[in-house]
């Protein structure tokens, strides 16, 4: 890689770092960025780069929320114990991961051929932006029924996971945006939906990066 390509890669990293924490598609923005300033690399390398680059943001979640996501602790006597609420959280996360994991592993190549282009990405960004406005207005006067992570049931987690499938199919549809919107629609508070979405990203991105999806 040349110095120019290294500088471009840094720009990709900045775009990923900013967009990963907002309900907008980080992958979609990088696909558009690839059209504006392509890297001088093979298509296989670029596909892997667009996935692996997201691991940095996910590791930031792990470091920031380590105490909340680590399921083990110690009793006063020093024995190892399992934190029940954290174990339940991870159970919910794994359930929410299943739909997108199955879809992504089985049909990722098909979706990539059909939808991984800047026109589909731009259209998805616009549509999802409009949906956010519609849902926010719809929920203005509604009181959420789920206000804590501990109140999320297995059924609620599965429904949130089904919304994540939308992002697995259509690039430009934010994964976090899709899950937050889905959670809001079924009565989860905005804060709880956002927290759950951050934690949900950990296994999703680790698995997808490992498989090169």
Cα separation, 195 vs 31, in Å, equals: 26
pLDDT at 25 over 90: no
As a whole number of angstroms, the distance between CA 39 and CA 46 comes to: 8
The residue assigned the tokens 């899709």 is 178
Interval 38-79: pLDDT, tens: 888 888 788 778 777 877 777 887 888 888 899 998 888 888
Return the pLDDT at 183: 93
pLDDT band at 150, cuts 50/70/90? Answer: very high
Cβ atoms of residues 91 and 82 within 8 Å: no
85-100 per-position pLDDT tens digit? 999 999 999 999 888 8
For residue 210, name the pLDDT band (cuts at 50, 70, 90): low
Alpha helices per DSSP H over the chain: 3-19, 26-36, 43-52, 55-64, 66-69, 84-115, 118-138, 154-169, 175-185, 190-211
The CA distances from residue 67 to 32, 73, 176, in Å, are: 36, 10, 22
Q: In angstroms, rounded to a whole number, what is the distance separating the alpha carbons of residues 176 and 201? A: 8
Higher pLDDT, 181 or 115: 181
């Amino acid at each position: 890689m040349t110095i120019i390509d290294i500088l471009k890669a840094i720009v990709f990293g900045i775009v990923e770092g900013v967009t990963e924490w907002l309900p907008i598609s980080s992958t979609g923005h990088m696909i558009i960025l690839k059209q504006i300033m392509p890297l001088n690399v093979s298509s296989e390398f670029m596909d892997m780069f667009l996935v692996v680059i997201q691991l940095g943001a996910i590791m930031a979640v792990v470091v920031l929320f380590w105490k909340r996501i680590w399921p083990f602790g110690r009793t006063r006597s020093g024995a190892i114990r399992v934190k029940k609420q954290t174990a339940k959280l991870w159970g919910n996360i794994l359930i929410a991961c299943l739909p997108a994991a199955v879809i992504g592993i089985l049909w990722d190549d098909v979706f990539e051929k059909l939808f991984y282009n800047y026109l589909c990405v731009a259209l998805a960004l616009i549509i999802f932006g409009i949906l956010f406005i519609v849902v926010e207005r719809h929920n203005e006067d509604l009181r959420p029924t789920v206000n804590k992570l501990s109140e999320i049931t297995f059924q609620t987690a599965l429904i949130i996971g089904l919304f994540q499938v939308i992002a697995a199919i259509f690039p430009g549809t934010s994964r976090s945006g899709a899950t937050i919107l889905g959670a809001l629609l079924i009565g989860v508070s905005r804060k709880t939906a956002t927290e759950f979405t951050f934690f949900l990203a950990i296994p999703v991105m680790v698995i997808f990066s490992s498989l090169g999806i």
